[in-house]
Structure 1
Amino acid sequence: MGYLYNMPSSEGWAIGLAVLFTLMAFNEFSRSTKWGGLAIFLVLPIFLTIFVWPTTAAPGNEYGTGNWFNWVKTYSALAGVLGFMAIRFIPGLVKNKWALAFPAAILAINIFEACFRDFQVYSYGAWDGEVINHLWLMSGSWNIMNGIAGLLNIIAICGWAGIVISKDKSKDMIWPDMIWPWIIAYDLWNFAYTYNCIPDHSFYAGFVLLFACTIPAFLIKKGAWLQHRASTLALWIMFIMTIPTFASHIAPVPTTHNPNAFFIVSLVALLANIALVAYQFNKIRKHKFNPLKDEIYKETKAYQNAIAENV
């Protein structure tokens, strides 16, 4: 990690772990009770939008939270959470093919927003690194590589027609065809995006935040990665929009600003997503799947485990 970041002290690691477990705890609370989810992701954001964010995330503020991307990402993440709650708790929606297209669509939109941001950072021409809109950024080939990696990740989204609702009390949105190859490729791409576009905030917004949704997807509620991702992302963005000094002043973990680190992180993300698309397209060709209708990974153990535990 010392290659990527100027490593935090033991106190810094403790703060990172506290953020991780807090995100996971609120995710568990919001998914286990419908009213808890509505309180956190509907009532609270309305209050913050009216009374808090116009000050803490004002356009052009010194903390970097007042740019278009932060505002768009906040509401697109919240739209995802609330849309998924509708699918989970409104009878009949899970049987509607248009409703089931929503999770794939909002996921693709969120990835595309980030790809656009990577290309935008490249367009700044900050080849030696400079502060732009109160964020330190360094433009380079890594922005192009990772933007392409994100577009490939969108292409590889599949199997949403097989989304089901778990039979337990929490009524989680289970996407069994979204198995570990796609999740890992996404995580590598998203970490590279945060490293490229919010580098000195990426320890929390990338490294910690991705663990906050990936751990539950593998160890707590299998098949519900997208639901975990949307909730933890919305929680983090709401927090950082409310307390914008956290990652920059209260508990900063800056990157090393090493161009080689930027290049390697994005190269790994690009190679992982090329491999994912090549593997997936080979399965589609071999089995004559329709990626807009068919589930691709039904024969895998990961898919079967998700079905067995939830249906």
Structure 2
Amino acid sequence: MGFFYEVPGLMGWAIGLGVLIALMALNEFGRTTMWGGLLLYLILPIALTIYVWPTTAAPGNEYGTGNWFNWVKTYSALAGCLGFMAIRYIPSLAKNRYALAFPAFILALNIFEACLRDFQVYSYGAWDGQIIDNLWLMSGPWNIMNGIAGLLNIITICGWTGIIISKESSKDMIWPDMIWPWIIAYDIWNFAYTYNCITDHSFYCGVILLLSCTIPAFFIKKGAWLQHRAATLALWIMFVMSVPSFADRIAPVPATRDPDAFFAASFVALLANVALAVYQFKKIRKHKLHPLKDELFSDTAPYKLVMAQNR
């Protein structure tokens, strides 16, 4: 912990745990009821867009929430939540191949936005670290490494043609081919991105936020990682846009700002995504699969488990 962040005190750990529990609970509220989802991802953001964010996320504000990336990320995450709800609750969409391409598209778009931000931070030339647009940033080779890792993560998105809707009342969007190697490679890359580009906020938007979707994907509703990810991301970024002082003043967990920490996070992210790409390439070649049409992992135990739970 001390390598990446200054170790939080007891209160800091309690706040982090509280944020984690709140994100998971709200995700469950939006996941298990259609009206809960509409309230959280449609009605609430409309109200915030009109009455709150023009003030709390105004361009140039002292907390850095007014930059283009925050606004784009907010609405792309919400678009994902609402698009996934449409697929879940409109039967014809769940069987439409073009509609099933939407989850892969919005996921790739979100990753690509982050890659652009990593490359942008490198272009600032802030080699010794400096405050830019009210955010502390340090440019370095880690931005390039992690940008490449993110692009590999996009390339390895696969199997969306096999997306199904669960038979439960929650009607979850299940992506059986999105098994744990891809999820872990994504998590490592995304943590490195947050550390590179939102350094002093990354304990929450990196560590806590990633746990809030990965824990449900492994222990609450398997196969629905992307649904969990979109929901928790949307919830967190709406909160940050509304209470921008949270990570800076209310409950800060500062990063160590050690160049070795930046390098290590991005180096591991690049290795993980190279390994994932090699693994997928071998499966494609061995089984003569089409990565844009076929499911790649239908012979694996995680895939079979998810299918057995949702038939």
What TM bracket, shorter-length normalisation? over 0.9
**In 2: Cα distance, 1:281 partner to 1:82 partner:** 33
Q: Does 1:7 align with 2:7?
A: yes
Tell me what 1:26 maps to. 26
1:210-258 deviation line (CA, Å, top 9, x unaligned): 0000000000000000000000000000000000000010000010010
TM-score for the superposition, normalised by structure 2: 1.00
Alpha-carbon RMSD: 0.4
**In 2: Cα distance, 1:16 partner to 1:272 partner:** 26
1:46-99 deviation line (CA, Å, top 9, x unaligned): 000000000000001000100000000000000000000000001110110000
**In 2: Cα distance, 1:291 partner to 1:266 partner:** 26
Tell me what 2:307 maps to. 307
Tell me what 2:64 maps to. 64
Q: Does 1:231 align with 2:212?
A: no
**In 1: Cα distance, 2:145 partner to 2:292 partner:** 26
Code of the residue aligned with 1:88 in structure 2: it is R
Code of the residue aligned with 2:215 in structure 1: it is I
Tell me what 1:87 maps to. 87
Code of the residue aligned with 2:195 in structure 1: it is Y
Code of the residue aligned with 1:229 in structure 2: it is R
**In 2: Cα distance, 1:163 partner to 1:126 partner:** 43
Tell me what 1:105 maps to. 105
Tell me what 1:290 maps to. 290
Q: Does 1:168 align with 2:168?
A: yes
1:78-121 deviation line (CA, Å, top 9, x unaligned): 00000000000011101100000000000000000000000000
Tell me what 1:270 maps to. 270
Matches within 5 A, 1:125-144: 125-144=125-144
Query: What's the CA shift for 1:7?
Result: 1.2
Query: What's the CA shift for 1:310?
Result: 1.3
**In 2: Cα distance, 1:292 partner to 1:155 partner:** 10
DSSP-derived class of the 2:91 partner: coil
1:249-292 deviation line (CA, Å, top 9, x unaligned): 00000100100000000000000000000010110011110011
Tell me what 1:182 maps to. 182
Tell me what 2:124 maps to. 124
**In 2: Cα distance, 1:7 partner to 1:56 partner:** 29
**In 1: Cα distance, 2:187 partner to 2:28 partner:** 21
Q: Does 1:153 align with 2:153?
A: yes
Runs of 4+ in 1 over 2 A off after TM superposition: none
**In 2: Cα distance, 1:216 partner to 1:293 partner:** 28
**In 2: Cα distance, 1:24 partner to 1:306 partner:** 21
DSSP-derived class of the 2:26 partner: helix
TM-score for the superposition, normalised by structure 1: 1.00
Tell me what 1:244 maps to. 244
- % of aligned pairs identical? 75
**In 2: Cα distance, 1:278 partner to 1:173 partner:** 27
Tell me what 2:40 maps to. 40
Unpaired stretches in structure 1, ≥5 consecutive residues: none
**In 2: Cα distance, 1:293 partner to 1:166 partner:** 21
**In 1: Cα distance, 2:110 partner to 2:246 partner:** 24
**In 2: Cα distance, 1:31 partner to 1:227 partner:** 8
Code of the residue aligned with 1:294 in structure 2: it is D
Q: Does 1:195 align with 2:201?
A: no
**In 1: Cα distance, 2:247 partner to 2:301 partner:** 39
